[in-house]
């Protein structure tokens, strides 16, 4: 039986799941409203015990701040923080589950074939940090009003 539910408040999730995955935001000293970039980890399918050691990485770097090392610095720090982060147990799981740590980090990217390097510059960026291509879904989304 399926039931609808509202997302749990952040405070409750923090108490129920332990620490949240790492999240870093770069700030621009010249502009209080600009965010040059961010990088954070999120649980991959958090309610599924089998995916407990897998997280997904989300990163962004503003177009005007690219090639300045911002995204590299953020990614390095988040990956380093993940070596010490324990996923804990989800509120839907038994608290007796032992510690397993993070074993796999997934990074998903959109490829803009009209961009620099045929759109694969970001792929090469992730490869420098040990990531490897595991798949390439076609027609999975839209970007820049293109499929």
Calculate mean pLDDT across residues 86-93.
50
Calculate mean pLDDT across residues 30-37.
76
Q: Per mean pLDDT, which of 24-28, 43-47, 122-126 is the most reliable?
A: 122-126
Query: Token pair for residue 79?
Result: 């990956």
% the chain with pLDDT above 90: 1
Residue written as tokens 């759109």?
Answer: 119
Residue written as tokens 């999120």?
Answer: 42
Name the CA radius of gyration of the chain, rounded: 17
Residue 14 has pLDDT above 70, yes or no: no
| Ranges assigned E (strand) in 44-144 | 54-61, 104-107
Q: Is 44 buried (19+), middle (13-18) or exposed (0-12) by CB count in 10 A?
A: middle
Query: Token pair for residue 17?
Result: 């799941």
**pLDDT tier, 16 (very low <50, low <70, confident <90, very high otherwise):** very low
The fold adopted by the segment(s) 10-127 is Aminopeptidase (3.40.630)
Please say whether the beta carbons of 44 and 58 come within 8 A: no
pTM: 0.68
Q: What is the mean pLDDT of the chain?
A: 73
What is the CB-side half-sphere exposure of residue 47 using CA atoms within 13 A? 3
């Amino acid at each position: 039986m399926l039931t609808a539910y509202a997302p749990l408040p952040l405070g409750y999730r923090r108490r129920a799941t332990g620490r949240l995955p790492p999240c870093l935001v770069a700030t621009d000293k010249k502009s209080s409203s600009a965010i040059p970039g961010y990088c954070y980890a999120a649980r991959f399918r958090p309610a599924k015990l089998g995916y407990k050691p897998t997280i997904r990485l989300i990163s962004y770097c503003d177009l005007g701040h690219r090639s300045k090392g911002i995204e590299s610095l953020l990614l390095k720090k988040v990956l380093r923080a993940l070596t010490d982060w324990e996923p804990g147990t989800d509120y839907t799981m038994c608290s007796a589950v032992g510690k397993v740590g993070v074993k796999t980090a997934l990074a998903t990217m959109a490829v803009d074939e009209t961009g620099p390097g045929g759109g694969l510059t970001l792929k090469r960026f992730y490869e420098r940090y040990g990531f490897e291509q595991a798949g390439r879904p076609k027609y999975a989304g839209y970007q820049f009003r293109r499929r």
